[in-house]
Structure 1
Amino acid sequence: MATHLDLEEQEQLDQLKHFWNQWGTPITSVLVVVLGSFAAWNGWQLWQQRQAEQAAALADAVTVAIESQDQGRVALAFEALKNEYGSTVQASQAALQVAKSAEAAHKSDTAKAALQWAADHAEDPGYQAAAKLRLAALHVEAKDYDAAAAVLQGAIAPEFNALVQDRLGDVLQLQGKTQEAIAAYQQAWQQLDPRLEYRALVGFKLNALGVATTTPQAS
C-alpha cells in the first residue's frame, strides 16, 4: 500500500514539475506585472495624498499671511505653492485669494499677475473662468480694453462661455465695436438658460443696441 501511494505521489510530483517547466515562467511574469502594478497604484495614491497635504499646508500659509496683511509672506508662500504644487486645486484657490487681497491693498499689478497665473494654469475650469473674468474686470478698470478682450477671447470651458461672452460684449462696446458686441451678447443670450434672470439682463443689452430678443415658450 505504501509503495502504491509513493508511486502516486511521485506521479503527481512529476506532473507538477512538467506543468511548472512549461508554464512557470509565464505565470511568474504575470504575477510580477500584477503585483508591480498594484504596488505602483498604491505608490501613486500615497504620492497624490502627500502632494495634497503639502499643498494644503502651503495654501494655509498663504491664508495666514493674507489675514496678517504680510504681503512679503504672502508672496513667498504663494510662489512656493505655484512652483511645487501648481497643478493642485489649492494653488488655484490661493491665486484667487492673493488677487483679492492685492486688490484690497490697491496693488493692481500683483492682483493681475495672480489672476493671469490662474487663468493660464488652473486645471479646474471654474477657477480658470473666475480668474479670466476678474482679470478682464481689472483691465477694464485700467481702461486697457484690448487686454481685457484678449483675456476673454482665449479658450474657455463651454459651460462658462455664456458669462464670458456677456463680459466680452461689454468690453467690445467700450471699444466702440457695436456689431461685434451684439454678436457676443447674442452668443450669451442663446447659451444661457431661459429660466435665469441673468439672461434678461443680456436681453436688455441687446434691446438697447436695437436687437429684438424672444424668449422660447415653455413646453
Structure 2
Amino acid sequence: MAYDLEEQEKLDALRAWWDRYGTLCAVLVFVVVAAIVGWRGWQWYQGHQASQAMGYFEALEGAAGQQGDDAVARIKAASHTLRSDFSKSGYTSRGVLVAAQALESRNDLDGAREQLEWLVKNSSDAALVPLARLRLAGVLLEQKQYDQALAQLNDAPAAFAGLYADRRGDILLAQGKAAEARGAWESALKELGADPVAQIVQLKIDALAGA
C-alpha cells in the first residue's frame, strides 16, 4: 500500500511539473527542430544557388571563347543573370571580368565599361575590385575619357601601385603631358622592381626620350 502511495505521489508531482513547464518544453523542442530544419534548408539553398551561379559562369566562359553576334548576346545575357540573381556569388565578380575582357576584345567598349563599372560599384571582393578599376581606366583611355580614367587610379592599393602608375602614364601621354607621363612611369619602375612589367615601362620611357 505504501508503494502505491509513493507511486501516486510521483505521478502527481510529474503532472504538476508538466502543467507548469509542459508548454515551455514543447515550445523549446519546436524551436530546436525548426532551427535544425531551417539551417539544413539554408545550406541546401546556398548549395543550389552556388550550383546555378557556376552554371551561368561556365556558360559565359564558353560564349567568351566563341565568335559572332550570338556569342556576344550570350555573354551579356549570362552576365546580366549573374549580376541580377547571384550578385553575392563569388562566380559573379569573376564572370563580370571575363565578360568585360571578351567585350573589350570585340571592341564593344561601352559593353566592357558597363561590366567593369558594375563590378567596381557592387563587388566586395578586395582582390578583384582594384583589377577592375585598372581595366576600367584602360577602357576609358580608349574612349578618350581621360579625366574619368585618371579618377579610377586614385588611392592605389599597395599591390597595384606600380600598375596604376604605369596606366596613369599612358593616360597622361594621351593628354599630351609627356613630362608628367615620364614621372608616372618612373614611379611605376620604382614600385614594380623586378616585375617583368617594368621592362615594358622602361621601353615607354626610352621611346619618350627618343621622340
Check whether the contact 1:122–1:128 (CA below 8 A) recurs between aligned residues.
yes
Residue in structure 2 matched with residue 20 of structure 1 by the alignment: 18
Superposed CA offset, 1:146-171 (max 9, x none): 111222338x8x66574676467547
Which secondary structure state, in structure 1, belongs to the residue aligned with residue 149 of structure 2?
A: helix
Residue in structure 2 matched with residue 128 of structure 1 by the alignment: 129
Which ranges in structure 2 are unaligned for 5 or more consecutive residues?
206-211
In structure 2, distance between residues paired with 1:138 and 1:172? 11
Q: How far did 1:136 drift?
A: 0.9
Amino acid at match of 2:24: P
Residue in structure 2 matched with residue 211 of structure 1 by the alignment: none
Check whether the contact 2:138–2:167 (CA below 8 A) recurs between aligned residues.
no
Q: Is 2:79 aligned against 1:81?
A: no
TM-score normalised to structure 2 length: 0.73
Residue in structure 1 matched with residue 92 of structure 2 by the alignment: 91
What RMSD over aligned residues (CA atoms) do the two structures have, in Å? 3.3
In structure 1, distance between residues paired with 2:158 and 2:17? 59
Following superposition, which runs of at least 4 residues in structure 1 exceed 6 angstroms of deviation? Answer: none
Which secondary structure state, in structure 2, belongs to the residue aligned with residue 125 of structure 1?
A: coil
Q: How far did 1:30 drift?
A: 2.6
In structure 2, distance between residues paired with 1:55 and 1:130? 22
Q: Is 2:32 aligned against 1:31?
A: no
Q: How far did 1:54 drift?
A: 0.7
Which ranges in structure 1 are unaligned for 5 or more consecutive residues?
209-219
From 39, 48, 51, the counterpart of 2:49:
51
Amino acid at match of 2:37: A
- Percent sequence identity is 29
- Change beyond 3 A, Cα 1:107–1:47: same
Superposed CA offset, 1:139-190 (max 9, x none): 2233322111222338x8x665746764675478556596xx88xx69xx7x
Which secondary structure state, in structure 2, belongs to the residue aligned with residue 120 of structure 1?
A: helix
Which secondary structure state, in structure 2, belongs to the residue aligned with residue 152 of structure 1?
A: coil
Amino acid at match of 1:7: L
From 64, 67, 81, the counterpart of 1:66:
64
Q: How far did 1:25 drift?
A: 2.7
In structure 2, distance between residues paired with 1:57 and 1:23? 51
Residue in structure 1 matched with residue 209 of structure 2 by the alignment: none
Amino acid at match of 2:112: A
In structure 1, distance between residues paired with 2:159 and 2:43? 31
In structure 2, distance between residues paired with 1:97 and 1:83? 17
Amino acid at match of 2:21: W
Residue in structure 1 matched with residue 145 of structure 2 by the alignment: 144
TM-score normalised to structure 1 length: 0.70
Q: How far did 1:53 drift?
A: 0.5
Check whether the contact 1:62–1:94 (CA below 8 A) recurs between aligned residues.
yes
Q: Is 2:102 aligned against 1:104?
A: no
